[in-house]
Structure 1
C-alpha cells in the first residue's frame, strides 16, 4: 500500500511508440514507455527505471500505474499494447496472484480490453531466480492470454538459454546489433543465426531502434515481421495517425522488394552462366589407391572466380587433393585435407539432397563467409558417373 502511495506523488505519463507490421503493412500496436513530469512540466525517464537498486515491488507498482494509463489510450481501438516486465516482476506477479488470476490480468480486465491484445516484454535484466522458474512464471502469463516478447536479444547481457526456455512469440532484436550489422559482416551472421532460431521455435522478429532507410532495409532483409524506431514514429503522449506512418514506410518496403527482385534475378543469371560453363567439362576421375586424380586446370581455365576444386566420396570423405588457385592460370595441390570427412558440414547433406532431387545438373549452395580467403564464397557441386562428388568454390565479387 505504501508503495502504491509513492506512485501518486508524481505525475506518470506513458508515451506510445508505434509498432509496424510488415505483413499487414500497418501499425498494429504501441510500446508503452514510462515517463514522469518534472517540476518544469517536462517529461523525463522515471528515475526508478534507471536505478539498479529499486525493488521489484516498487517497480511493479509504477508499472501498474502506467499500465492503467496506457490502457485508457488504446481502449477505443484494436491496437496491441507492449509493456515491459523484468524477470523478478514476472515472479512477483505469480506470488501476488489470487486463484488463477494474475494482478496484471485483473488490471487489463477492468479496462475491458482482451488480454490477448497485451504483449508482455521480458526485459534483459538478470533475475533473482533461475531460468526454469522464470519460464514457469512466463507460462502463467501465456496461459492468461498475454503475448510474450523477449526484449533486447543480441545485447551483451542476453541469454540464449532464456530464449530457448521461454520460447517467446516475439523476439526483439537489440538496436545496437542492428546498427553494427550494417557495417560489420560478423554481426550480419548473428542476425542470420537469430533469424534461424526464430523460425525453429516459431517466433517472430521485431527490430527496434530503426532510424534510417538503410536500417529498415537491413531489418526486413534479416526477417523482420515488426518494425519500431524513430524512422516510423517517436514515443508520444498521443497515438500518431497510422496513415501518416504507413505513407512513410510502405513506399520504402516497395523499394526494398524491387531491389531484392533485381538482386535475385542477377543471382539466377550468374548461376546459370557458371552452370553452363561447368556442364562443358567432362568430370573424369582416375583412382590411385585411396586417392582420386582429376584435371584441375580445366576448372581454373573456365572462370577466374573459381578458387578451389576438390572431390569427396559418397560418405563425404575428401579423396582428392585440395586444388587452390595461385594466379590466372596456376594452382597448387594441398594434401592437408586429404581423407578429411566433410559430412558434418551443413552444405554436404544439402548437396546430397539436391543430387537426389536432380542428379543431372550442377547444384549451388547459399553464399558463406570463408575465413581463410576472407571473401564470400559460393559452392557448386555435382556427382559424376562413378559416384564422386565434385565441389567447386567460387569467390564472389563485391555486390554479388
Structure 2
C-alpha cells in the first residue's frame, strides 16, 4: 500500500449542516477535515494549523479529503462547502490545463455538477496580492463553482478581498456575531456588512451559532444561511434534516412574530408623533441671514422631541439648532448655521418623500445617536415657503 493510500485511509471528512432561512431546510454541508489517530479517535489535522506547510502539501491533503467528501454526497442534491486558502487558489490557477482546473477534474470524475461545490476562501493571508487572488477566483467562478469568503469581519484585509472577489456568499466571523450581542458598535458593523451584501448581490451566512440569542441576532442582521452547533455539529453524513428543521423553524416563527409586534409599535409611535406635529403651524420669518421659528411650540409638544432645525431646499441649515436641555428647557446653538446636511442619508430620503407626498410628515429609519445614546428617528416636512423642518425624536 502506498503512503498516499495510507493517508487517505486515515483522513475523515466531517460534515456540518448549513440551513437556509428562505427554504426552511438544510441545503448544504461544510466539509471539515479530520484524521484518525492510532487509537481510532478523530483528531485535527496538524498541517491545517501549521503556517509553514506549503500550499502544494495542503492541496494534496485537501484533494484527498475532497474525494472522500464527494463520494459521500454523490447521491444527494446538497451543496458542499470546501475550504481553500488564497495560496491554494493561485496553485489551482497555475496548474490549470486548457482552462480546466485540477479541482474541476476531480469533481467531474464523481459525476457531480461543479455548481454544487462552493469554494470557501479562508482568511489566511496569501503570498500574492488581492488582484492575483481575484483572477484565480474568477477562473473558479467561470468553471461553475460558487464562491464564499470566510470569516469576514475578522481582519480589515477581508474588506479589500470582499470588494475584489464579490463572493456569492459572505461568511460572518463568529466573534463578530458574539460581540454584536454585547456591544452596539459591533451591531453597526453587521448592519454595514448587510448593506454591502445587498449592494453586491451576496448572501450572508452566519456561522458559529450556538444559542437562541445568536440565532435571532443573525436573522435580524440579514442572514439567509445559518451554521453552528445550535443547528448541528460536524459529523459523518448522517444528519436528520427534519430534526434540524424542528429545532430551527419554531425559533424563526417566534422571531417573525416579535418583529411584527415591534413594527406595529413603531407605526403607532410614528402616528402619535405625527398627530401632535400636525397641530403646529410651520411659520417662518426671515431675519437678516437666518430664518426664525418658534422652537418652544415643538419642545412643549412631547418630551421625546430632542432637536429642531430647518434647512433650505439644498440642505443648508438656515435656522439655529435648538436642543432640549431638560423637561421644559432648550438651548439655541448658532454655530451650525450654514452647515450643509445634504450628505446625511436621511436628507435625500426626505427629498424623495417630499416629491411623493408633500402634505404629510415624513419619517426616517431609526439610527443610533451617540450623543443621546438612544435610537432616534427624524420627522421632516416642507412648509409653504420651501423650508424643510427636521425634528429629532428619541424612540421609547
Q: TM-score, normalised by structure 1?
A: 0.97
What's the CA shift string for 1:265-292, capped at 9, x where partnerless? Answer: 1110110000111011000111001101
Cα RMSD between the aligned structures? 1.3
Change (3 A) 1:335 1:380: same
Corresponding residue number in structure 1 for 2:24: 25
2: CA distance between counterparts of 1:98 and 1:75?
A: 25
- Aligned to 1:234, what secondary structure does the other structure show? coil
Q: For the Cα contact (< 8 Å) 2:122–2:150, is it kept in 1? A: yes
Q: For the Cα contact (< 8 Å) 1:122–1:149, is it kept in 2? A: yes
| Corresponding residue pairs, total | 395
Q: For the Cα contact (< 8 Å) 1:7–1:65, is it kept in 2? A: no
Corresponding residue number in structure 2 for 1:274: 273
Corresponding residue number in structure 1 for 2:308: 309
Corresponding residue number in structure 1 for 2:291: 292
- Aligned to 1:224, what secondary structure does the other structure show? coil
Q: In the TM superposition, what is the alpha-carbon distance from 1:42 to its structure 2 partner? A: 1.3
Corresponding residue number in structure 2 for 1:130: 129
Q: In the TM superposition, what is the alpha-carbon distance from 1:7 to its structure 2 partner? A: 7.0
What's the CA shift string for 1:193-250, capped at 9, x where partnerless? Answer: 0000001001000000001111111111111110000000000022301111011111
1: CA distance between counterparts of 2:329 and 2:259?
A: 37
Q: For the Cα contact (< 8 Å) 2:377–2:392, is it kept in 1? A: yes
- Aligned to 1:159, what secondary structure does the other structure show? helix
Q: In the TM superposition, what is the alpha-carbon distance from 1:156 to its structure 2 partner? A: 2.6
Q: Does 1:108 align with 2:117?
A: no
Q: For the Cα contact (< 8 Å) 1:152–1:158, is it kept in 2? A: no
- Aligned to 1:302, what secondary structure does the other structure show? coil
2: CA distance between counterparts of 1:175 and 1:315?
A: 43
Corresponding residue number in structure 2 for 1:327: 326
Q: Does 1:241 align with 2:240?
A: yes
What's the CA shift string for 1:90-137, capped at 9, x where partnerless? Answer: 000011112121000111001111100000000111111111111110
2: CA distance between counterparts of 1:256 and 1:158?
A: 33
2: CA distance between counterparts of 1:116 and 1:370?
A: 44
Structure 1 unaligned runs (5+)? none
1: CA distance between counterparts of 2:72 and 2:133?
A: 30
What's the CA shift string for 1:172-202, capped at 9, x where partnerless? Answer: 0001111111111000000000000001001
Structure 2 unaligned runs (5+)? none
- Aligned to 2:257, what secondary structure does the other structure show? helix
2: CA distance between counterparts of 1:7 and 1:47?
A: 16
Q: TM-score, normalised by structure 2?
A: 0.98
**Where do 4+ consecutive residues of structure 1 move more than 3 Å?**
4-7
Q: Does 1:84 align with 2:76?
A: no
Q: For the Cα contact (< 8 Å) 2:34–2:43, is it kept in 1? A: yes
Q: In the TM superposition, what is the alpha-carbon distance from 1:8 to its structure 2 partner? A: 2.0
Q: In the TM superposition, what is the alpha-carbon distance from 1:252 to its structure 2 partner? A: 0.7
Q: In the TM superposition, what is the alpha-carbon distance from 1:376 to its structure 2 partner? A: 1.6
Q: In the TM superposition, what is the alpha-carbon distance from 1:375 to its structure 2 partner? A: 2.0
Q: Does 1:182 align with 2:181?
A: yes
Q: For the Cα contact (< 8 Å) 2:170–2:205, is it kept in 1? A: yes
Corresponding residue number in structure 2 for 1:372: 371
Q: In the TM superposition, what is the alpha-carbon distance from 1:322 to its structure 2 partner? A: 0.6
